[in-house]
Amino acid sequence: MDRKSIRPTTDELKHFIPLQALSEQQQVLLAGVAEIRTALPKEVLIELGSDDNNTYFLLQGTLVLDSADNHRREIKADDASAKSPIAQLRPRKYRVMAHSAVRYLVIDNAYLEDIAQNHGSASGVEGYEVSGDFQNESSAFEDQLSTLLLADLKQDRLKLPSLPEVAIRIGRALEDGVSDAHDIAEIIQIDPVITAKLIKAANSAIYGRRNPVETCSGAVVRLGGDVTHKLVLSFALRELFQTDSALLNNRMKALWKHSTRVAAICYVLAKQDSRFKAEHAMLVGLLHDIGVVAILNYAQNFPDEAMHEEPLDRAVHNLRAEIGSMILNKWGFPSDFVITALEAEEWMRNKGTAPDYCDLVIIAQLHSYIGDNKGRHLPSIDEVPAHRRLELGELTPRMSLKILEQAKDQIAHAQSLLNI
C-alpha cells in the first residue's frame, strides 16, 4: 500500500525508553531522519527471519507478533512493552503484523549510531538499551551494565549457568511424543540429584502420601509426563540462582525465597481454577524474575556499585522486565513466560476479560508482600484488574485473600517442594 511518511516530534521520541538516553540535541537530529509510517490491518511490518538494519516502535494501534513455533503475542500502543523496540533481535524472531490500523516509528540504525557516537554521548542506544523510570534517573553503572548484558545476550554469550542436560532432554522427548514412564525415567536418571528430588516429590504431601514409590519410573507413573517435566525444570532452575560474589549472595538468596514463595502461591491459585495448570503456573512464578538473576550475575563486574543498594536497586527496577523477557524468549519458553517476565510488575495491567498466568503472578506477588515494607506503596489485591479477572473473592481484614489464608498449608508444602 502507499504509505505516508512523516517525521516524529522530539516529544514522540521521548516516549520510548531507549531514546530517552539521547540528549535534546541528539533527539532533534534523530527527529529529522526517523520516519513515521502507517499500516492497515493484516499488513506485515516485519517478516520472520528478516535482518534489516532498522529499529521499530509502535505509536498507535495494535500489533500481532507470531514466532516460528506458532506462539502469538499482542502489543498495544499503551502497553508498557510498547515503550521498547518491536521484535528487536536479529534475525527477527517474530513476524509482525498490524491487527488494527497502526502508526509506527522506523529508525535506521546507521543514523542512530552516527548521532550517538558523533553528536554527544548517550550510551547503550543502538535500539537495544533498556531502562526505566526509577526516580526518573539512570546512572553510568546502569548504562554499562545493560550494554554489557544485552551485548552478550545478542551474541549468545549470556553468562548464566546452563539448564542441566536432563531438563532439556526430557522436554525434547515429550515434544517427540515419548510417553513411556521407563523411557522418561532413563533420561532423568542421568542426574542422580534430580532423580532423588523427583522421588521425594512424588512421595510428598502435595501429591498424596499413598504407598511410597521407590524408583524413578514409579515417580513418573504417579506424576505423569507433563508434571514430571515441569518439576524437573523447577529443580534444575535452582542452580541458576547462584552467584560467586559474597557481596551479592544474600540478594540472590532473597530472590530465590521470593521466587519460590510466588511460585507456590501461583500453584495453589491454579489448583482452584480449571483454566490453569498448577505445575505450569508454578514454573511461570519461579521464572518471573529471571532477569534479576542475570542482573545480579553481571553486577559482579562492578564490585564498587554492587556494594551499594541504591544503584543496584535502580538497575534491577529498570532492567528486570526487558532482560527477563529476552532471556526466556532466547531459551525458547512459551509466550506466557515471556509476557509474565515483561509485565509482572505492572500492577494495574488490564488485558481483556480472560485471565492469564501473568495475572496469577501479579496476585501472588502482592499476597507475598502483605506485612512487608515492600508492600506499603503497592495497590491492595482488590484494587488490581487481575483480582477481578480471576474472580478471587473476598479479602481478610489484613487485606489478603481468604482462599489463600485457608490454604496456608498447601502453600507451605508447595514451597517446600521447590526446596527439596
Domain boundary, last residue among 111, 128, 145: 128
pLDDT at 62: 96
pLDDT band, residue 100 (cuts 50/70/90): very high
* Distance, CA of 171 to chain centre: 20
Same domain assignment for residues 254 and 374: yes
pLDDT at 272: 86
- CATH number where 290 lies: 1.10.3210.10
pLDDT band, residue 91 (cuts 50/70/90): confident
In a domain, 292, yes or no: yes
- CATH number where 45 lies: 2.60.120.10
| HSE-up of residue 284 (Cα within 13 Å, Cβ side) | 31
Same domain assignment for residues 174 and 89: no
- Domain limits for position 45: 10-128
Handedness of CA 330, 269, 379, 388 (dihedral sign): positive
Query: Can you give the length of the chain in residues?
Result: 420
Residues 6+ apart with CB under 8 A from 340: 284, 287, 288, 357, 358, 361
Query: Do 367 and 373 touch, CB atoms closer than 8 A?
Result: no
54's grid cell: 532498522
Same domain assignment for residues 103 and 188: no
Domain boundary, last residue among 109, 128, 147: 128
CA–CA dist 156, 165 (Å, integer):
18
In a domain, 341, yes or no: yes
Same domain assignment for residues 234 and 286: yes
Residues 6+ apart with CB under 8 A from 306: 245, 247, 248, 299, 300, 312
In a domain, 255, yes or no: yes
The pTM (predicted TM-score) of the whole model is 0.64
pLDDT at 398: 61
CA–CA dist 100, 43 (Å, integer):
9
pLDDT band, residue 209 (cuts 50/70/90): low
Same domain assignment for residues 45 and 171: no
CA–CA dist 13, 122 (Å, integer):
14
Percent of the chain residues past pLDDT 90, beyond the cut: 27
- Summarize pLDDT for 262-295 with one digit per residue, the tens: 999 999 999 888 899 999 999 999 999 999 999 9
pLDDT for residue 136 is more than 70: no
In a domain, 362, yes or no: yes
Same domain assignment for residues 231 and 87: no
349's grid cell: 495491567
Same domain assignment for residues 411 and 308: yes
Interval 69-90 mean pLDDT:
84
pLDDT for residue 337 is more than 80: yes
pLDDT at 56: 94
In a domain, 4, yes or no: no
Q: How many domains does the chain have?
A: 2
Concatenated DSSP letters of 196-221? HHHHHHHTSGGG---SPP-SHHHHHH
Cell 512424588 locates to: 202
Helical spans, DSSP H, in 103-139: 109-118
Same domain assignment for residues 187 and 298: yes
- What b/e readout covers 276-285, taking b as 16+ CB neighbours within 10 angstroms? bbbbbbbbbb
CA–CA dist 290, 241 (Å, integer):
9
Same domain assignment for residues 217 and 351: yes
* Distance, CA of 134 to chain centre: 19
Same domain assignment for residues 110 and 49: yes
Residue 66 has a CB neighbour count (10 Å cut-off) of 15
Same domain assignment for residues 243 and 352: yes
364: closest CA among 375, 354, 353? 375
In a domain, 139, yes or no: no
pLDDT for residue 347 is more than 50: yes
Domain boundary, last residue among 106, 128, 150: 128
pLDDT at 134: 41
In a domain, 154, yes or no: no
Same domain assignment for residues 108 and 186: no
In a domain, 157, yes or no: no
pLDDT band, residue 20 (cuts 50/70/90): confident
> Which helix (DSSP H) or strand (DSSP E) does residue 405 occupy?
helix 402-405
